[in-house]
Structure 1
Amino acid sequence: MLKLLYKAITNPIIGPIVVSSIGIVFLSLFYMPKLSAQNQQERVIGETTKIISLLKHSRAYYTDNVVNKIEKKSNLHINFDHKTDENTVPLPATTIHDLSDILTKSDNVHASFYSNYPFPNRSSRVLDSFQKDSIEFLTKNPDKIFSKSDIIDGKNVYRVATADILTSQTCVNCHNTRADSPKTDWRLHDVRGVLEVYVPISDHFMLSREQIWYVILFIGLVVLTFSLHYGILYFKREKELINTASILENEIQKRTKDLHESNQFLLEYKKAVDASAIVSKSDLFGNIIYVNDAFCKISGFSRDELMGQPHNIVRSPDVEKSFYKEVWKTIKSKNIFKGIIKNRTKNGDSYYVAATIIPILDEDGEILEYLSLRYEITELINAKDRALSAERTKSTFLANMSHEIRTPLNAIIGFSDILCESNLNRDEKEYAKIISRSAKSLLGIINDVLDISKIESGKLDISESAFSFGLFSEHIVELFSIVAKEKNIRFIYKTTPALPHTLVFDSTRLQQVVSNLLSNSIKFTPEGGSVFFDISLLDISNTHAKIKFSIKDSGIGMSKEQQKIVFEPFSQADDGISRKYGGTGLGLAICSDIVKLMGSRIDLSSELGHGSEFSFVLDLRIEESKEQNETKKSKLLFGVCKNEDDSEYLRVCVKNYLLQLGNVVETEDFTQDVDMIFCFDEDKAIEFKKKRDSIKTVYVGDKAKIKDPASKTYFDYFIDLPIYSSKIVNIIHDNSKAQSQKAISDATNKKFNANILVAEDNPNNQRLIDILLSNLGITATIVGNGQEAIDVYKKIKFDMLLMDVNMPELDGVSATKEILKLQRENSLHKVPIIALTANSISGDREKYLEAGMDDYISKPIELNKLIEIIEKYLYKNRDFHTLNVQSTDNNEGFEVYKKSDVMKQLGLNESTVDMLLESFFLTLDDDLSRLQSTIDAKDANAIKSAAHYIKSSCSNLAMNEAAKLLGEIEASATKGETNADITKIKSIFYTIKNGLMS
């Protein structure tokens, strides 16, 4: 509202009118009524004071000329009761009262005389508020007038009062001598009462002559101001109109000239478009109404043959009708169509055009016609087809190359690994290891080349799945700690204890990136140097964690120029580095592209001769399991010695890991009662050991740096860099369970009862697979091609088929389809078929699964992956070597628990598994009691939740029989059933626990 008023006031046209109107309204509604009221008050005061003065003069005259004579010459009495007594004349005051009554009979003037003295003739009078206030005011201010507006009998009146003063000595004497006087000490100039006159107030304006002239002058001034203002505006606007007209005339001339030039340009543009584009126009029904020469030339039709014909005249029969329906749908909705169209010429030849079809609209927005602009792209399309053909040829070449190289590598790696484990002498084993390492190095180069190919073709995918982040990082550290130690490099590993347990991501690709960066740091760091691997938590929420991976080394470093090309394929810092350190120059390029696919980037900070730091940040999704969140710490108390120099984060890392396992105190008090002490200083550790010999002492640091070799006898355990959880857990386990029986963990001790058919054409690979499967207790039937596999399958029942893809006569995919057909036609039992191939091109796995195969193993075959596949598809048929534990009546028919199952399933060492089992059995009684309580309460949902909770822990710890029974209870509860018996489950746990303790 204020903005609108401001705009109106500042407007040069309506502003003066608005301001003047506001001023006139203000005068009319506020100032003039107020002025009129003041004038009336002044008039009334003047009139009433005259009346009061006349009344006073009349009383004075009566007193001097009547009363005195009566007193001297007559026997008449002077009193207030003259109306009832014939011999009495009125007092002067009574005369005033009488005159007031006479005046009051007029409608316009009302007079009265009153006081607050108790005169007998006025003793019954009741004064109103004005009269009381006037007496009080005038008694104090006899020379002033007391006036006020009031309402009497519903009329607006103005009341004026003046003091009645004793001005005559005669009056003073009379008042003092009369018996009815209220007092006898009257003096001259005393106020004996108040004379009041009030008259009605009229509603009309009352202005003086002077005021009327002021109003007339104000109105005249406003009119004069308006005249001047709008006169100035008029002449100003006239001048502006003349200038505007001149400008418009010049603009019209300019526009006319521009329009003429534009027409010329349009003609030139039309020539350019006609020379390069195929132009046509059609009516609302698609009939041609215009074509240029280029259209006629490419189509082979003359202009006369095209005019009036539908555009179908150049439509290629190879294009689906639905395509043109979409085109019409687009342009009829007033949208522009853009796309590639295949057309045909008059003689039937095909050509391609990149077409843009534009609806031309009239001023009402309705379609008038359609304009089509086309550019011939036949050569471009042909070039694209050739490129796709070349890409397919490249993919085929890479697949064949992968197969041809991987197939002999499979035999080389497999047999060299077998030789390494055989009874060879030391030199022969070293030769076998050299063969294995060389073959694996060659395999890594092949994988890099294939990864680059996938990245270039956009076929490298990120496949997410849940994985244990702690095991993931420790596995990498364990792997590279060996390499770093061989090169005498200080490998420092630091991590944040608050990192989530389970994350969802592509752990394989993440491991590929981290491993490559660590491998490079170790490779380019000279002996005696250091490599720092830091995993830090930057931010965390309920669903995501932002984690930074940093690998820093003290190696050769890079210059600014070298850093610019280090992430390019087939590039290294310089040729000298390639010759000295080897490598293809693909690793960092692949890592950079993978990290980009992960939504991040690799940052590089380096200085020539002073090392390099590679880092990247990933936002990873968290998937926490209930068991992990409820893991309980042990009651052990660990002591950690204070370390003044902790530049390698030894104390921080040890303390963080120990806090996850028990309670920690930092101390220099060698009398502290702890279960185990961790020291970082040789002298402090020895001092502690001398005072508390019974407490196990762990020296954390480089054992080679101990000054006195004899000092080593004071230490019970040593932890060298890098520090990670498993090292500490192993030491604690050795200290607390040194006498416990060790379970078998070697994968080669795992046995299966199975019969597997292997289709493989390479004799070396046939023998290798036969040896691997035999070591696993599996009976293998090996054939050389797909047709032989079909023939043998018809005669013998197998538990699984390992099917090589590339084989002579009949390949593995064709053989699989034939076997699946036999299964359908003869209602045979479904047998898992696993693709066994050296191909490693993106999309192979999907192709094999689409053909009916169940899974995929890439060559060279890794024993662990082979075992995983066998466990996955032959789970019910496996029969492992077991611990010798005593059976009871309740556990007959149970699969006896084996700790090595957990170690292999989770990829953990024995001590870590022991810790997990200890934590599981620590809370098991409470968990089983809770389950029994839910069964007793007949609460199906609670039964389902409690059974699922224990089942999850059992599955993680390979307690398969218990997990199976708990799963049955969970399934029954899902259906609403509440009757369950956990006696058998308790017996299984009892047997497992006794077996572990025996």
Structure 2
Amino acid sequence: MRLKAERKLELKSQLLSALALCTEKFLLSKTSEEMFKETYNIIGKVAHADHIYYYEKDFDTNTISQKYKWSKTENPNESIILQNFTEENLKEIIEKAENKKILNILTRQLDDTFFKNLLETHHIKSILILPLYVEDVFSGFIGFDDCHTEHKWSEEEIYIFQTLANNISSALERNRNQSKIIESEEKFKLITNNIPGTVYLSKFDTFSTKIFLNDQIFNLTGYSKAEFLEHNLSFISLIHPDDKKEVINSQLKNLQSGKALHNTYRIKRKSGEYIWIEEFGDVIKKGDEIEFIGGIYFDITNKKQTEDAIKAKQLAEAASKSKSDFLANMSHEIRTPLNGIIGFTDLLMKTELGEIQEKYMTTINQSAHSLLEIINDILDFSKIEAGKLDLFIDLYDIHKIVGQVFDLIVYESNLKKLDLKLHIAPDVPQYIWTDIVRLKQILINLLSNAVKFTNHGSITVDVVVLEKKEDDICVIRFSVTDTGIGILKQNKKKIFQAFSQEDSSTTRKFGGTGLGLTISNHLLALMESRLQLKSKIEKGSTFYFDLTLKTSAHNTNENYNTDFNHFNTKAVQIPASTHTAKLTFMIAEDNKVNMLLLKTIIKNLYPNVHIYECENGYEALKVFENVTPDLIFMDIQMPIMNGYETAVAIRNSINGQQVPIIAVTAGTEKEERNKCITSGMNDYIPKPIMKGSVEEILKKWLK
């Protein structure tokens, strides 16, 4: 009896010693496999068991599998790892585990189930199962078996083994938590290293000491992580001196008021260059105290440069618009008195003048026209610069276009006794789709230059077809050849630059703004063409351009003769004698000179006419409520109500459908035409107001 007690005491002592050693191994083991290998070997030597094993539950598949097994003796047949048991297969263990109990039983005492057959297959006569719990959830079990005797484990043995099971549960929970932490850290590193920004975690101290940085810190600053984390390089020290104080004060203010950090500033890279960064951050508190600051830096240098470029572009566009608006307004202000000078000198030249008086008046008139051309050039150039010059395409007779241009240049060429020649090839189609105003402007400019720089000889205009394509598309070349002074090879590009002529002496000798060829080239660019030049000094020059145009052998445009008269207003019927006809006109014009000029021309044509004078559109509308004139002359730019608004209001009135409204405009024909049609006007006369154009329009609308 005494010997039995001593043996029992010795076993308990051995088990407790083994348990103490196992506890140390639990604390030091880095993995579960290492833990079981070392502890099971210690316990197995004193436990009087043939096998010790560890089974683990897979919560994804809800199965239980053997993860580790210790055997007292080496037997190849015992190396089989048992896997994927269902809870039904091991229901005896599961039922005990659900009630937080152990299973200590002889195999023969079990019911005839899967579990009993499993034990018998492996020659197990008795078994002890201790469930394991992680976070109070059954997660597996450890087991002891005896294959030689029917061993009933004592309460003391079970107590010690239960302590072992509890230690194993704690170790497993610790290992799983560590694995989760490591996995979480790896995920965090993976995420942070793939974010297109520099993630940081800083202490809340004077130097904002960094305790974590992702790999992007090197790309951002040129410094390695180690220089910040190990050598205490301060990120604050990199901030641009001009930005540092504002950034620090802003961040402290935000942190103290509980706001998130958001700052944009410059930092100095290791290379010495400054870059722009944008910082987002927030605090991590321990209780009420700020312990850490976490956030992210983004390199926004490219974005900042783009923003600066956009701002510069916007400023440039605004400046260009202001310049264009200024030039448009100034040109209107300059044109107005010029139009008066041109109009009245034109009237005066039609009276009986002495030879000297006529010469003086001709000089004044020509000077005014020259100044008007300069203003038009500057305004066109401004529009081109601002990208506001558009083409207005319509169908026109090419012979009439070139013929009209030719007629304008005949007088000047005759004064210099130049031989002016025009050649339009027979295969050139009669009608072309083009912007007549801009095409004439280009040709007039080229012909004017030819006359200006040619002292003797000839000037030839050639129009030929270079290529005929499908759908009536033709490539037509327009060329102007002179026998003038020619252009040096090194100056051929220079003459196409704004405000430039071949050299300064040319400017002094021949005059001009130097804008003509530049404007012509820009207009041709809108037509997908360009000016080209062939020239020899003292032999002459040929300027030419090729246009790809849609053509027609017939006039297919119903609006060719006139596309005004949107309201189908009929001409006013008047008596045969215009001098005795009693007509009523209304003139809406804010400029007194233009008003006087137009009145004078009309009175010369119709002495008995009654004219209502209105200084703005609003006044004209009030007069129209009480008077229905035979015809209205409408200026476009007027105070209070402009010409467009006034025309619309008149057309919307009871008596306003049939009265002819004639626009008086300083704008180019095509640019103004659409606006005039939309607002309800019937026709227009251009400024400067000339007696001939007024007479022609009145004959058309007073029949």
TM-score (norm 1): 0.37
- Give yes or no for contact 1:600–1:616 (8 Å, CA) kept in 2: yes
Aligned to 2:55: none
Q: Which of 595, 598, 602 matches 1:766?
A: 595
1:522 to partner: Cα distance: 1.5
Q: Which of 460, 481, 492 matches 1:532?
A: 460
Matches of 1:761 and 1:526 in 2, distance apart? 45
Q: Which of 252, 269, 283 matches 2:219?
A: 269
**Deviations along 1:909-939, whole A, 9 cap, x unmatched?**
xxxxxxxxxxxxxxxxxxxxxxxxxxxxxxx
1:571 to partner: Cα distance: 0.3
Secondary structure, aligned partner of 1:798: coil
Q: 2:589 is aligned with what amino acid? A: E
1:381 to partner: Cα distance: 5.6
Aligned to 2:635: 804
Secondary structure, aligned partner of 1:836: strand
1:850 to partner: Cα distance: 7.0
Aligned to 1:756: 585
Matches of 1:440 and 1:429 in 2, distance apart? 16
Which structure is higher in helix share?
1
Q: Which of 476, 492, 495 matches 1:547?
A: 476
Cα 1:603/1:782, change in 2 over 3 Å: same
Higher relative contact order (CA 8 A, sep 6+): 2
Cα 1:379/1:772, change in 2 over 3 Å: same
Q: Establish whether residue 517 from structure 1 lines up as the match of residue 346 from structure 2.
A: no
1:863 to partner: Cα distance: 5.1
Cα 1:270/1:846, change in 2 over 3 Å: farther
Q: Establish whether residue 453 from structure 1 lines up as the match of residue 382 from structure 2.
A: yes
Cα 1:265/1:779, change in 2 over 3 Å: farther
Matches of 1:575 and 1:397 in 2, distance apart? 28
Q: Establish whether residue 624 from structure 1 lines up as the match of residue 452 from structure 2.
A: no
Matches of 2:656 and 2:323 in 1, distance apart? 40
Aligned to 1:885: none
Aligned to 2:508: 579
Matches of 1:564 and 1:411 in 2, distance apart? 39
Matches of 1:269 and 1:752 in 2, distance apart? 90
From the CA coordinates, give the structure whose radius of gyration is larger. 1
**Deviations along 1:771-795, whole A, 9 cap, x unmatched?**
3334554653222334432332222
Aligned to 1:735: none
Aligned to 1:859: 687
Aligned to 2:611: 780
Aligned to 1:117: none
Q: 1:481 is aligned with what amino acid? A: V
Secondary structure, aligned partner of 1:499: coil
**What pairs up with 1:530-679 in 2 under 5 angstroms?**
530-541=458-469, 542-625=471-554
Secondary structure, aligned partner of 1:410: helix
Q: Which of 409, 418, 442 matches 2:371?
A: 442
Q: Which of 483, 504, 513 matches 2:433?
A: 504
**What pairs up with 1:234-633 in 2 under 5 angstroms?**
267-271=217-221, 375-376=303-304, 383-384=312-313, 386-527=315-456, 529-541=457-469, 542-625=471-554
Cα 1:431/1:389, change in 2 over 3 Å: same
1:412 to partner: Cα distance: 0.8
Matches of 2:651 and 2:588 in 1, distance apart? 18
Q: Establish whether residue 836 from structure 1 lines up as the match of residue 667 from structure 2.
A: no
**What pairs up with 1:655-734 in 2 under 5 angstroms?**
none
1:504 to partner: Cα distance: 0.8
- Give yes or no for contact 2:260–2:280 (8 Å, CA) kept in 1: no
- Give yes or no for contact 2:465–2:474 (8 Å, CA) kept in 1: yes
- Give yes or no for contact 1:544–1:621 (8 Å, CA) kept in 2: yes
More displaced stretch, 477-486 vs 830-839: 830-839
Cα 1:829/1:463, change in 2 over 3 Å: closer
More displaced stretch, 760-769 vs 573-582: 760-769
1:389 to partner: Cα distance: 4.1
**What pairs up with 1:110-121 in 2 under 5 angstroms?**
none
Matches of 1:797 and 1:344 in 2, distance apart? 72
**Deviations along 1:548-601, whole A, 9 cap, x unmatched?**
111122211111221120000110111111111111111111111111111111
Aligned to 1:982: none
- Give yes or no for contact 1:484–1:491 (8 Å, CA) kept in 2: yes
Q: Establish whether residue 789 from structure 1 lines up as the match of residue 617 from structure 2.
A: no
1:487 to partner: Cα distance: 0.7
Which structure is higher in strand share?
2
Matches of 1:344 and 1:421 in 2, distance apart? 79
Q: 1:859 is aligned with what amino acid? A: K
1:869 to partner: Cα distance: 6.1
Cα 1:596/1:864, change in 2 over 3 Å: farther
1:393 to partner: Cα distance: 2.9
1:857 to partner: Cα distance: 5.1
- Give yes or no for contact 1:300–1:345 (8 Å, CA) kept in 2: no
Secondary structure, aligned partner of 2:513: coil
Q: 1:758 is aligned with what amino acid? A: I
Q: 1:464 is aligned with what amino acid? A: I
Matches of 1:519 and 1:403 in 2, distance apart? 25
Matches of 2:660 and 2:223 in 1, distance apart? 64
> How many pairs does the alignment contain?
422
- Give yes or no for contact 2:254–2:260 (8 Å, CA) kept in 1: no
**What pairs up with 1:725-744 in 2 under 5 angstroms?**
none
1:753 to partner: Cα distance: 8.5
- Give yes or no for contact 1:547–1:619 (8 Å, CA) kept in 2: yes
Cα 1:427/1:397, change in 2 over 3 Å: same
Cα 1:584/1:856, change in 2 over 3 Å: same
1:427 to partner: Cα distance: 2.8
Q: Percent identity?
A: 34
Matches of 1:841 and 1:449 in 2, distance apart? 18
Matches of 1:299 and 1:461 in 2, distance apart? 54
Matches of 2:382 and 2:431 in 1, distance apart? 32
**Deviations along 1:288-318, whole A, 9 cap, x unmatched?**
xxxx999x9699678998xxx999x99xxxx
Matches of 1:608 and 1:775 in 2, distance apart? 52
Matches of 2:674 and 2:413 in 1, distance apart? 39
Q: Which runs of 5+ in 2 are unaligned?
A: 1-212, 225-238, 264-277, 282-297, 558-576
TM-score (norm 2): 0.51
**Deviations along 1:163-217, whole A, 9 cap, x unmatched?**
xxxxxxxxxxxxxxxxxxxxxxxxxxxxxxxxxxxxxxxxxxxxxxxxxxxxxxx
1:419 to partner: Cα distance: 1.6
Give the CA RMSD over aligned residues. Answer: 4.7
